[in-house]
Amino acid sequence: REMELDLRLAIRDGGFELYFQPLYNLRDDCLQGFEALIRWPHPRRGMISPAEFIPLAEETGLIVQIGEWVLREACRIATRWPENLTVAVNISPRQFAAPGLSSTILQALGQSGLAPNRLELEITESVFIANIEKTLSALHGLRDLGVKIALDDFGTGYSSLSYLRSFPFDKVKIDRSFVRDLTEEGNAHAVIRAITTLAEALGMATLAEGVELPEQCEILRREGCQFIQGYLLSEPVEEHRLAGLIGDYA
Ligand code: G
Ligand code: G
Ligand code: MN
Ligand code: NA
């Protein structure tokens, strides 16, 4: 397929870019760090969204090489930020299952000099579908490297609660579908409260994704959610625009 060939060329020629979106701490009103989000400026087709090419990269296994680039680049860029800021990197299920993820992470940390606790890995519930025992031992292995682990898109998968109980995630990222409906009138805030209460009881932080309105932010604060992310703060931006955001939110 043409797109697959183009993906291989982009891997070979360094044809991807990382964008960054701020993660904001509502408890102390400080910037926590940024999530790295890959972009593919295609020579003929313009900017291609990861929603379009990550599935193909997963199918073909090319995600492993792309993911290595993302990890290296994200760690390298994060070393230029103030030392209290973290970088979050998405790890797709195939990348998680492939051998060598922890050595890739160690390499990215070693080459950049980034402290392990400044790197946060985002995984989705779908990694648990494979083999729960293996998944848990892989997660503990990653945790032993000193990196943080977040559960991404929480609430969209199957029996989320059993996964929450089986591994001590540092953070649970509440899917934006729960945030979209958040108004004073509806009952969506009750779901947020239930999730933050549960996460807190299990010793995990919560972040709400897709926060677009000040009203949503205030409800989230009130319902005990610690972190937010979304267009209210900023869309994902290029590295050269981060200094401005760091200044605004520091
Ligand atoms: O940034 P955007 O909303 O367009 O991302 C769409 C999807 O692509 C999201 O689900 C996001 O998690 C995923 N994604 C973005 N960057 C990466 C990446 O570097 N690696 C992986 N595996 N997924 C990514
Ligand atoms: O699956 P993941 O959470 O990694 O996906 C992150 C994606 O969510 C990014 O591609 C980003 O473009 C998108 N996103 C970030 N903030 C918002 C927001 O406030 N509203 C909506 N609709 N999408 C957002
Ligand atoms: Mn994510
Ligand atoms: Na998400």
pLDDT over 70 (residue 159): no
What number does the ligand 2 atom closest to the CA of 21 have? 15
- Which residues does a 6 A CB cutoff place in the pocket of ligand 1? 37-38, 49-51, 54, 70, 90, 92, 236
Euclidean distance between CA atoms 206 and 236, whole angstroms: 20
Question: Is 84 exposed, middle or buried, given 0-12, 13-18 or 19+ CB atoms closer than 10 A?
Answer: exposed
Contact 74, 36 (CB under 8 A): yes
Number of residues written out for the chain = 250
pLDDT over 90 (residue 85): yes
Percent of the chain with pLDDT over 70: 99
pLDDT over 70 (residue 239): yes
CATH at 193: 3.20.20.450
Which residue has its alpha carbon closest to ligand 2 atom 11? 236
Q: How many CA atoms lie within 13 A of 229 on its CB side?
A: 23
Residues sharing a CB contact under 8 Å with residue 62, sequence separation 6 or more, in sequence order: 4, 7, 8, 11, 56
Split at pLDDT 50, 70, 90, the class of 115 is: very high
Structural domain boundaries enclosing 187: 2-249
pLDDT at position 165: 87
> Which whole number is the average pLDDT over 39-59?
95
Contact 116, 108 (CB under 8 A): no
pLDDT over 90 (residue 66): yes
Mean of all residue pLDDT scores within the chain: 95
Distance 36 CA to ligand 1 centre (A): 8
Q: Is 153 in the pocket of ligand 2 (CB under 6 A)?
A: yes
Structure tokens at 209: 């994704």
pLDDT at position 157: 76
Distance 35 CA to ligand 1 centre (A): 10
- Domain total in the chain: 1
pLDDT at position 14: 95
